[in-house]
Each structure stands twice: as C-alpha cells, then as structure tokens.
Amino acid sequence: MKILVTGGAGFIASHIAERLIKDKHEITILDNLKTGRKENIPNGCRFIEMDITDNAIDDVFREGRIDAVFHYAAQIDVRFSVYDPFGDMLINIGGSLRLLESCKKHNVDRFIFASSGGAVYGEQNVFPADESHPTNPVSPYGTTKLTVEKYMLFYHNQYGINTTALRFANVYGPRQNPFGEAGVVAIFCKRMLKGEQPYINGDGLQTRDYVYIDDVVKANILALELEGNHAINIGTGVETDVVTIFDMIKNLTGADIDRLHREQAPGEQMRSVIDSALAKKIINWTPEYDFKHGLELTVEYFRDN
C-alpha cells in the first residue's frame, strides 16, 4: 500500500513508519519539524516538510496516489491548548479536516487517527474506562481529539472511508521528546541521567495508564485491516502515579536527586486508566510489555542516546 504518515518525524509515528517500511509498504512522511526530528525519520521513505494546515496538502495526495493515512501530526501540549484554544483548534481540527477532505477527493480507503484515551473521557467515573464511558474532555486538547473522531464518523457514513480512532493511554518509550512539557517518563529519564532536577506537578498522586511504544505500533498495524468506523482504547488497564514513576526512574538511573514539587498544571486530570477489552475483541490486541520492563528499555535508550 501507499501510505501517508503525518507527524512521521515524531515519537510514535516514526516507529509506525519504520514498521510499515519493514512490511513492504510505500511510505510518505509529512512533518513540519517543529517538534519532530529529522533523525527519527526511517530510511526508505519519502519525506515532505509541510504543515497539515498547508493548502498544498492536496498535492501530496494527488502526486502520491495515497491508499491509507496514519494521522499523527498534532498540537499535543494540553497546557498550550488551555492558554491558546483557538491555535490548538486550527491545528488539531483544521489540519485534520484538510486531510479528510483530501481523502474524500482522492478516494483514500482508510484513515487511522491518534486519539487520546485520557483526554476524550475527562475525569472518569469508572476505572478503567471502556469506550462506552461518557466523553467529557476537561481541556481544549481533548475536545479537539473528540471532535476529529466525530468528523471521521461523518466521512465514513457519507463517503465510505474506513476510519479508526485509536484512543491511546500515555505512550512512552525510545524517541519520546524529553524537552517539552508532556511525556513525564522521557522528561524524568533525560533530566536524571544528566544530573538535573525534574519537578513533579502538584502532589504527584495523579495517575495515568502507561503503554509501551512497541505495543502501540502493533495496535496500529492491526488497525490497518479494519473495515468500518471504530474508536478503540489502547492501554494496559493499570494506573501508575507520578511519584512512583519518579522513584522507579531514580532507582534505574542511580540519580542522587530528591523529589521536588511545583504547582499543578492547568487542565490536568487526576486519574486516567482505560479498558482495552474491545481491542482484544476486534483486532486481537493485548499489551505485551508491563511498565517495569518498558521503563527499563526506555532508560537504557536515553542512557545510550
């Protein structure tokens, strides 16, 4: 297949592109390199430096004769979405709509989207949350993810595009960006290995469901075969709080650093953990990596790089 991977110079999508190339697909990566890194782009693919909001997106589809899209380019900082919801909307909704319109125009068969299993549900009333849980995002970022899912349903019903939203838990692993405000595992790894002080937001008892990158890649490959319209959780069903992560990474790195706390971040949920039984049922996906093993592999990567 001829596949377009947006955000392919970033953390998750570069791993997906790498696997797709190994599976003998013809890959085009589109990335504006604002947060993605050229060194993440795997060999054997075509690279286009472009923003998903660019009018020239349609040319990429026309020239590349695209069969499928993995849409991972996004504004991913929850804090930015709180401070600038309009800017967040232009990228996450506007850019996604440009892609869906091009899919319609050029008869693209399927569209796989990186949604968020934490952000679309908001503060949960059931733990873990399955796909029937009410969707009440507490941030503009979560609202944009849910909105794109609704547009995908429209494009499936109206134009027959096979659309799948993968609602990820907190993805971690090699190549995650350790320099932003998101991605606590990468941030803690990098700073502790450099002997710098990482900070815990609030009391550090906020929990997340952490899923390792290799498990996420596997879910994407399986989703490529799906027909219809779907929203599927991809997580482990296990909660881990930030204080525990701090202590685990401190132990793995041998860092001589004490816990320091700072103000709670705006728009941040206190608990998030998702049920992935549906993924097991319809794509035969279950996570293979527990958090301890995934964390060991991640620390090893940051130590070597």
Write out the catalytic residue numbers.
141
Element (H, E) at 207: strand 207-212
CA distance between the termini of the chain: 33
**Do β-strands 162-168 and 170-172 pair in parallel, antiparallel, or remain unpaired?**
unpaired
Q: What's the residue count for the chain?
A: 305
Residue 257: burial class (beta carbons within 10 Å; 0-12, 13-18, 19+): middle
* Residue 142 near residue 150, CB atoms below 8 Å: no
Separation CA 253–CA 175 (nearest Å) = 17
Those residues whose C-beta lies under 8 Å from the C-beta of residue 165, and which sit 6 or more positions away, are 113, 115, 148, 149, 152, 230, 231, 232
Residue type, 182: A
Beta bridge partners of 129: 274
Element (H, E) at 29: strand 26-31
Q: How many CB atoms lie within 10 A of CB 129?
A: 26
Q: Is 284 helix (H, G, I), strand (E, B) or coil?
A: coil
